[in-house]
Amino acid sequence: MRWPGRRTPPGPLDYTRRLWMQALIGLTLLFLYAPIAILVAFSFNDSRRTIVWRGFTTDWYVRAWENARLFEAFTNSLVIAAIATALSVVIGTTLAIALWRFRFPGKPVFEGLVALPIVIPEICMGVAMMVFFARLDWPTDLPWPLNLGAITIAHTAFCFPFTALVVRARLAGFDRSLEEAAKDLGASEWQTLRDIILPYLRPGILAGGLLAFTLSLDDFVITFFTSGPETVTFPVLVFSMVRFSVTPEVNAASTVLIVITVVVTVLALTLQKPTEMAEGRPRSEV
């Protein structure tokens, strides 16, 4: 309906028509993405200095690739993130299911304890980890990739509570009658878990895994305290490099990291899609 000569008031979802709203959205996007855009752009800049644009080049990517320390730190980060993610997914999912499924004495205390790594300041975790590994006399001269063990363990320790949290949130919406229906049809506990509960949890597990992956990949504080001279990760190395100056090599490596993260995220989202759609449709009954 339109009345001539009168502006129609915006509907509840129409506020994007307002100029101030558009400006606000624009500014938000600018602050979010401009730094990243600049980082990516300057990784192609044909100049050592990062301030003026001198022309396009892919040299820095080649240089970054050839920089042995940078390359090593980069692979270290990816390997640690991959292993820590896998461990976090297994431990976190098991934990979430156990907490959802079973009642046992001291359960609230236990629940609080496993959520602790989420709230403890990272710096404390870092120091604690350092002291812990020193106390254990954790060997530091193992061959690659075993020498990444300490960092991987530390990363798993602070990542899996997040995975457990996400999976539990998903479990909270689980319809128990699905589980009962499976058992009623003759499925054992194990078959029910495999055929009904885990497929239902898949989006949660993927999201939790993604969270663990990114948390591990860009962790600085805890890694800083658990890494040795042989086991430098990308964030730690970048930190030590930019103390002198930001080189386009770092820009190039960062861009690659961004691309990897984006690709992993998109992959996870597409994997998630079929089940999401299956449940996304509002059901008229029930």
Q: Which is nearer to another protein, 19 or 286 (CB)?
A: 286
Least distance (Å) between residue 108 CB and another protein:
19
Q: Cα(255)–Cα(263) distance, rounded to whole angstroms?
A: 12
Nearer to another protein, 84 or 167 (CB): 167
Contact partners, residue 49, CB within 8 Å, separation at least 6: none
Q: How far is the CB of 259 from another protein (least distance, A)?
A: 32
Closer to another protein by CB, 61 or 200: give it: 200
For another protein, which is the closer residue by CB, 182 or 250? 182
Closest by CA position to 44, among listed 271, 273, 243, 252: 252
Angle, vertex CA 22, rays to CA 20 and CA 28, nearest 5: 100
Pairwise CA distance, residues 70 & 232, whole Å? 9
Binding site for another protein (CB under 8 A): 175, 177-178, 180-188, 191, 195-196, 199-200, 274-275, 277-279, 281, 283-286
Question: Looking at beta carbons only, is 141 or 184 nearer to another protein?
Answer: 184
| Long-range contacts, stretch 194-200, CB < 8 angstroms, 24+ apart | 197/97, 199/275, 200/170, 200/174, 200/275
| Helix locations, the chain, DSSP H | 19-42, 59-66, 68-101, 107-119, 122-136, 149-172, 176-184, 189-192, 198-217, 221-226, 234-242, 248-280
Q: How far is the CB of 281 from another protein (least distance, A)?
A: 5
Give the residue with the Cβ less far from another protein, 243 or 283. Answer: 283
Report the candidate in 211, 208, 212 with the shortest Cα–Cα distance to residue 85: 212
Q: Nearest distance from residue 280's CB to another protein, in Å? A: 9
C-alpha distances in Å from residue 255, one per residue of 35, 152, 201, 283: 12, 24, 32, 43
User: CB 279 → another protein: shortest distance, Å?
Assistant: 6
Smallest distance, another protein to C-beta of residue 275, A: 6
